[in-house]
A and B are shown apart, each in its own frame.
Chain A
Amino acid sequence: DAKTTQPNSMESNEEEPVHLPCNHSTISGTDYIHWYRQLPSQGPEYVIHGLTSNVNNRMASLAIAEDRKSSTLILHRATLRDAAVYYCILRPAPSGGSNYKLTFGKGTLLTVNP
């Protein structure tokens, strides 16, 4: 599976935008980019995903580089509740026997200052 590289930690101030980077230089053409986050003492939760085009939803935006070797999760206005570990994951399209697994790395610990 292609790997992702994320900073171990980042800090932000409340109500400011946050840009969480992810490098995935070995991404293949059929890999989808997924983001999950894990709030303290909770299970991970889905945030957003994309393939080539930028994506927006109620939680965040995902900006994907033209060569797809990197992506950025954007939180437009960070709140204290956004303090969490953010995981960038590559999800290969299933083929043959299908692959329904997601492989989580260590992620980025986001601290939001009041």
Chain B
Amino acid sequence: NAGVTQTPKFRVLKTGQSMTLLCAQDMNHEYMYWYRQDPGMGLRLIHYSVGEGTTAKGEVPDGYNVSRLKKQNFLLGLESAAPSQTSVYFCASSVGWDSYSGANVLTFGAGSRLTVL
């Protein structure tokens, strides 16, 4: 059971280049999320999806686009990378709201470290 897999793990881009981060989960989770983490800061939500074919903006969506064409995959795209987008990106997935237990347990991937020069 792989859980949440992110590819690539590391990437270096030049300003203005584009790239896509892929997140894949094998737990049949409905909900998927993209976060970024910068030094000394907590995780900030970029975009999320509550089901196949749906996406929504989080706290810091500018400069990013996402797509959820298949339930198991959530793609994060940078159309024109900027140095401010240098960060570690984490993908997560969850079953969603469990009304009985009150849990919304997120399972995270190992992260993708992106450097924009």
Number of interface residues of B (CB under 8 A): 30
Query: Contact: B102 with A49, CB < 8 Å?
Result: yes
B74 lies within 8 A of chain A by Cβ: no
Size bracket of the A interface: 20 to 34
Are A106 and B103 closer than 8 Å at their CB atoms? no
Q: Which residues of chain B have C-beta atoms less than 8 A from A49's C-beta?
A: 101-103, 105
What residue of chain A has the Cβ atom nearest to residue B45's Cβ? A101
Partner of B108, one of A44, A94, A100, A101: A44
Given A43-B90, A106-B40, the answer on whether A100 and B50 have CB atoms closer than 8 Å is yes
Mask, B87-117, CB within 8 Å of A = 1, is 0001010101100011111111111000000
12 CB < 8 A contacts A-B: A34-B103, A43-B92, A43-B110, A46-B105, A46-B107, A49-B105, A50-B102, A100-B31, A101-B45, A103-B45, A103-B59, A104-B43
Chain B residues in contact with chain A, CB under 8 A?
4, 31, 33, 35, 40-45, 48, 50, 58-59, 90, 92, 94, 96-97, 101-111
Q: In the complex, given contacts A36-B106, A41-B111, A106-B41, what are 20 additional A-B residue pairs having Cβ atoms less than 8 angstroms apart?
A: A32-B102, A34-B103, A42-B110, A42-B111, A44-B43, A44-B90, A44-B108, A46-B106, A49-B103, A49-B105, A51-B102, A93-B102, A98-B50, A100-B31, A100-B50, A101-B45, A102-B104, A102-B106, A104-B35, A106-B42
